[in-house]
Amino acid sequence: MNYFTDAVAWLLDPAHYPGPTGIPARLGEQLLFTVVTLVLASVIAIPVGFLIGHTGRGRGIAVATSGGLRAIPTLGLLTLVALWIGIGLGAPYVALTVLAIPPILAGAYTGFEAVNRATIDAARAVGMTELQIVRHVEIPLGLPLLIGGLRSATLQVVATATLAAYVADFGLGRFLFAGLKTNDYAQMLGGSILVILLALVLEGLFAGLQKLVVPRGVAVGRPPVDRKASTRRRPGMEPAITKGI
């Protein structure tokens, strides 16, 4: 437990704060990197996901691609791109944007798919154009799942950005690798605590946001368990968005 007090002492040491290699600067780098990567990935993934979700076409390809990308080790992609375009921030941006696309894409199209078909038919029946259906029905109702996709993408990016310090001089990961090199356990542990806190704070923010974006009068999630009736859900059936009372 002595290590933890050392790590806390390291975190509280004012000498570790000022300058471009201080804790606030490194934290800022990691946050900025995460935000830029997410924006880049969203710009690509969200429109494509909406298109897949609305038309129902290309879903098979999207699922296969996401599944395949999942198996690709981040570190491998990161080091390979770093060899191609050189040491620096370029490689992490490319590698992590690629990795952030699948969860956002999946969030976008599953959000659309979770919308009750009857709701969409009703929207079409009252004379909404396709674009209006997308804007006023599918996007608002699918938003919680899209935010969920952004949430897991954010977690992945903020975690892997730590690993990116292996190929570039930036972010909180520097503390981990610098500590590893000099056997400075306080620094390693202090850096690790910072990264974990950052990830948990972002996770908490997204969890809150996800609740916030549920439109009024809509209950998201699984239907209440009614032990009297058969509530068997078969594998592969996702809990649909059910309307509230």
The footprint of another protein on this chain (CB under 8 A) covers a number of residues equal to 75
Binding of residue 80 to another protein (CB under 8 A): yes
Tell me the closest approach of the beta carbon of residue 127 to another protein, in angstroms: 31
C-alpha distances (whole Å) from 128 to each of 122, 133, 140 are 9, 6, 15
Within 12-51, the residues that bind another protein by CB under 8 A are none
Q: Considering all CA atoms of the chain, what is the largest pairwise distance in Å, rounded to the nearest integer? A: 69
Q: CA-CA distance, 158 to 156, in Å (whole number)?
A: 6
Tell me the closest approach of the beta carbon of residue 154 to another protein, in angstroms: 10
Within 90-149, the residues that bind another protein by CB under 8 A are 102-103, 106-107, 110, 144-145, 147-149
How many residues would you count in the chain? 245
Structure tokens at 181: 């090199």
Q: CA-CA distance, 138 to 42, in Å (whole number)?
A: 17
Binding of residue 245 to another protein (CB under 8 A): no
Within 57-76, the residues that bind another protein by CB under 8 A are 63-64, 66-68, 70-76
Within 177-216, the residues that bind another protein by CB under 8 A are 177, 180, 188-189, 191-193, 195-196, 199-200, 203, 210-211, 214
Degrees, nearest 5: CA angle 131-133-136 = 100
